[in-house]
Amino acid sequence: MFLSDDSEDDYLIYPHHAGEKILNPIRKFAGEKMQNYNRSATKLVGNVFIREINYCGLASMSWMYYYDNNNGLYIGSHDERFPVTGVIAEAGKDKPYMGFNFRKHYRITCGQTYTTGNYVIAITEKDWHYGAQIYRSYIEPYLNFDHTPEFLKSEYSLNQCYNFKRRDSIEHYFKDIPDMYESGKRWGIRHMFIASWNRTGFDSFYPEYYP
């Protein structure tokens, strides 16, 4: 599909991590930067540049929104079972169009059947906020937003400590934690968030399931 004869003012909302707002995705998908964008890069398959990430993994949500100043398209996978889902956007190499798909990772054997959850499409004249409202109305009943403990409600910062094992090397040990806390405390930070990574260290791979 295409929104108009001119794609220069087109935007794609794509749920990579916290979300990306991509100006002119038809052109950007074919660019060198996007083709070398690590595990979320576009790949040329035939005459189509394809970008696919998994929900839940690199994709934090299972919806996309494509729009310009006058038109908008929402497409979302609303499956309350939350299966591993490929979120796919594609751009034509020789023709200026965008395509949107979802891939469900579910193993079936001969004779079995599988029914996906609902897919929702909305054709609008609004920007991406409208799409966010559609997805929020679907996902909100399954989420718990009010879980901040009392001792954190008045805090304004958090010392995030991912850097124990990072890029195949060990940067900090358990014995370093008291000094790391004191270092943050000098800036008024009283709480630490300590995390580890399961493969090759932080900033190298992520705890993502690959079917």
Model pLDDT for residues 13-32, shown as the tens digit of each residue: 999 998 999 999 999 999 99
Domain assignment of residue 17, yes or no: yes
Cβ-contact 165, 196 below 8 angstroms: yes
- Whole-number pLDDT of residue 7: 81
How would you list the strands of the sheet with 98-104, edge to edge? 43-45, 48-55, 85-92, 98-104
- Domain co-membership, 154 together with 60: no
In this predicted structure, the answer to whether residue 179 has a pLDDT above a threshold of 90 is: yes
Domain assignment of residue 188, yes or no: yes
- pLDDT-derived band of residue 117, with 50, 70 and 90 as boundaries? very high
Q: DSSP code of 94? A: S
Whose tokens are 């897919």? That residue is 119
Q: What is the mean pLDDT of residues 169-176?
A: 85
Q: What is the mean pLDDT of residues 195-209?
A: 61
Domain that holds residue 82: 11-142
List, for residues 26-56, the tens digit of each pLDDT value. 999 999 999 999 889 999 999 999 999 999 8
List, for residues 69-78, the tens digit of each pLDDT value. 999 999 999 9
**Residue that finishes a domain, picked among 120, 142, 164:** 142
- Domain co-membership, 67 together with 98: yes
Within a 13 Å sphere around the CA of 35, how many CA atoms are in the beta-carbon half?
Answer: 12
Q: DSSP code of 61? A: S
- pLDDT-derived band of residue 111, with 50, 70 and 90 as boundaries? very high
Q: Is 174 helix (H, G, I), strand (E, B) or coil?
A: helix
- Whole-number pLDDT of residue 160: 83
- Domain co-membership, 29 together with 121: yes
The Cα–Cα gap between 99 and 49 comes to 10
- Domain co-membership, 126 together with 86: yes
- Whole-number pLDDT of residue 207: 54
- Whole-number pLDDT of residue 6: 80
Domain assignment of residue 154, yes or no: yes
pTM of the model: 0.75
Q: Domains in the chain: how many in total?
A: 2
Domain assignment of residue 209, yes or no: no
User: Is the peptide bond between 161 and the residue preceding it cis, with omega within 30 degrees of 0?
Assistant: no
- Whole-number pLDDT of residue 1: 80
